[in-house]
Chains A and B, each alone.
Chain A
Amino acid sequence: MGALSIRNVRKSYGTTEILKGINIEIEEGEFLILVGPSGCGKSTLLAMIAGLDNITSGEVYIGERKVNDLSPKDRDIAMVFQSYALYPNMTVRQNISFGLEIRKVPKAEQQKIVAQVAQILQMEQLLDRKPSQLSGGQRQRVAMGRAIARNPTLFLFDEPLSNLDAKLRVEMRTEIKLLHKRVGKTIVYVTHDQVEAMTLGDKIAVMKDGEVVQFGTPQQIYDNPVNLFVASFMGSPSMNFIPCRVAVLDGKFGLKMDTGGQTHVFPVEGASSALAAYAGREIIVGIRPEKITHKVDFLAGAPNFYVAETTIEISEPTGADTLLVITINDKNIVCRVHPDYAKSQGERMAFMFDMSKTVYFDPVTELRIL
């Protein structure tokens, strides 16, 4: 059995069902990300795991124990909150040792733990300050310290970085990852930021409207989204969705791409039988921006690599890459091109499409076809 097992968990407030049967299982030491748009029930699910609120139906296991009827303090968990929730009347030291004190850890032991935690998080000089005398990043650190001090089997994080500025957020993200490596404990981490989800997670559960839409490793979710929602939610800039008619040419399928005046047909390689049902109809083709680049001569013409020339509508340099917007089938498409090869706005340029990781969706059900 895994470190955390969530079985068919439902939660209703009054008549509205917020969680609609969640199933997740992770192993000891894994870093689980709950990601999804705001309001989809991530915090509610975390509260169910923590025991801060009752589950309407279903079961939660932490390790071997069914914890449904255990209060938060008996679940052997620690939690870091979005607002940090530091006790304003206590010093950093007292904030960290409060939980230990309640658990009747001897004074000497408490001091030792506080010193250790302070050292791990490099905040020895902050121990005697009040939370109001700390910066946002420092408060964040203290909140984590408070969680670490208790040495629980399971850590819960509820959007811990969302109140920090962009630079600090990246720093703390790295730090959390290092911390996870170091303590090796199981972590459930809520975020609505897909970059955080991709970089931190061993497993990601993508949630929407109280359901887990997809559960898997970051790469699985990035490469093989089960539907249009997951595909559009993960990745930045987000995946391009091109409405395309499926053409049939000598027994093989092709996708019609109109680049304004010129129509290309990109053949679909591999097991394309799934497309048979869509012959002559429109489907949605998902292709990530980094798969549309400048033309590389030795690749052009290889299977799955197709070239089309078109006009650049907009150019957005980001430094590392330049994002170029073009039009295909009357839709704006973002391409990620190396700055050295990017031409300017209004110019014509030959783009190379790498179709090997392209995904296809039914326009009505929005589910993956292929």
Chain B
Amino acid sequence: MADSSNTQTQGSSRFGRYLIYTLLGLVCLYYLMPLFIMLSTSLKTLDDIRTGSLVSLPAHVTFQPWLDAWSKACIGVRCEGMSVYFWNSFRFVVPAVLISTLAGAFNGYVLTLWRFRGSDIFFSALMIGCFIPFQVILLPMARTLGELGIFNTISGLIFVHVVYGVSFTTLFFRNYYVTIPDELVKAARIDGAGFLRIFWRIILPISTPIVVVSIIWQFTQIWNDFLFGVVFSSGDHQPVTVALNNLVNTSTGVIGYNVDMAAAIIAALPTLFIYIVAGKYFVRGLTAGSVKG
């Protein structure tokens, strides 16, 4: 009696597990399908695309679309491929990510471990920044960039992304630093360390998990940004996302799906790379309490 009911539950739980795995598999397929189609299309010749079906594998694998996308494809009037814009993106994304992360760490440090009168209000005000839609700040930002003389420059894009990102990074770091005991800072003060030394020598070195979170988040946000890029830069200064759009829209008679796909993957590669390399730290960092002892 007991035995049979036992096997029954075992059987039904096994069935449940199969069901779950099947479902998960299907969902996986569904999400991987576009990537697969992009990848396989980018490796096909135009003839192959025309004759074969969307989901078929390439008849002969060719890397020509990738080479074209990288250095030959026409974007607007220039036919030099994505490479220029790809490096453009790096040139403002890397500084913007680093600066906004450092600024967030510093803000978080001050707002939790060196509270001042009104620091909570200051923090709340800063948090509103997380909810301001991009569109709202376009015009004021354009004016500001003009006044500063950095409109349509790499510095301008760095500035915009730092300003917009600092609310988020501050939030990350503040929430991480509230778990650090005040006594740590007190001990350092008695040891004779000042405000900046405590930050550099003690607080920043124990912030690795949240630094990783901030870098991944900011990198993805800024790399993938289109709107700021399209509004605040033009011509040679545009980021890769805008270039991709222009590449797809630039018609030279035949539509080169294979080149478009290769270009799209090129544009997405850095964020993919970051997730694959540092993804596990992202989850760990988001759930980490900071320091014990």
Contact = CB atoms under 8 A, between A and B. Distances in A.
A292 interface: no
A102 interface: yes
A181 interface: no
Interface string B178-198: 000101101111111100010
Contacts, number: 68
B140 interface: no
B190 A132 contact: no
B293 interface: yes
B183 A83 contact: yes
A87 B188 contact: yes
Interface string A77-114: 11101111111111000000011001100000000000
A329 B155 CA distance: 86
A165 to B, nearest CB: 15
A89 B292 CA distance: 11
B293 A81 contact: no
B191 A81 contact: no
Contact of B293 (A71, A84, A99): A84
Interface residues of A, number: 29
A83 B181 contact: yes
B291 interface: yes
B293 A79 contact: no
A149 to B, nearest CB: 10
Contacts of B186: 47, 50, 52, 72, 79, 81, 85
Interface string B37-65: 00000000000000000000000000000
Interface in A93-143: 98-99, 102-103, 131-132, 134, 139
A73 interface: yes
A82 B183 contact: yes
B202 interface: yes
A11 to B, nearest CB: 16
B136 to A, nearest CB: 37
B127 interface: no
B292 A85 contact: no
Interface string A46-78: 010010100000000000000000011100011
Given A83-B181, A83-B293, A87-B184, A73 B206 contact: no
A79 B189 CA distance: 10
A138 to B, nearest CB: 10
B133 interface: no
A77 B193 contact: no
A206 B291 CA distance: 34
A98 B191 contact: yes
B183 A103 contact: no
B190 A78 contact: yes
A85 B202 CA distance: 11
A102 B291 contact: no
Given A88-B293, A102-B192, A134-B293, A81 B187 contact: yes
Instruction: Say whether chain B's binding surface is mostly helix, strand, loop, or mixed.
Output: helix
Contact of B291 (A72, A81, A88): A88
Interface string B185-225: 01111111100010001100110000000000000000000
Contact of A73 (B183, B190, B201): B190
Contacts of A150: 191
A52 B206 CA distance: 23
Interface in A15-50: 47, 50
B202 A77 contact: no
Contacts of B187: 79, 81, 85-87, 146
A292 B197 CA distance: 60
A361 B189 CA distance: 46
Contacts of B189: 52, 71-73
A86 B192 contact: no
A139 B181 CA distance: 15
A77 B190 contact: yes
Contacts of A89: 202, 205-206
A134 B192 CA distance: 25
Q: Which among B181, B186, B193 has the highest number of chain A CB atoms within 10 Å?
A: B186
Contacts of A103: 192
A83 B182 CA distance: 10
A50 B206 contact: no
Q: Which among B187, B192, B291 has the highest number of chain A CB atoms within 10 Å?
A: B187
B193 A85 contact: no
B180 to A, nearest CB: 9
Interface of A: 47, 50, 52, 71-73, 77-79, 81-90, 98-99, 102-103, 131-132, 134, 139, 146, 150
Interface of B: 181, 183-184, 186-193, 197, 201-202, 205-206, 291-293
Given A71-B189, A72-B190, A150-B191, 10 more contacts: A52-B186, A72-B189, A79-B187, A84-B293, A85-B186, A86-B293, A87-B184, A89-B202, A98-B188, A99-B190
Top 5 nearest A-B pairs by Cβ distance?
A99-B191, A73-B192, A85-B187, A89-B205, A85-B183
6 contacts: A87-B188, A88-B292, A90-B202, A98-B201, A102-B197, A134-B293
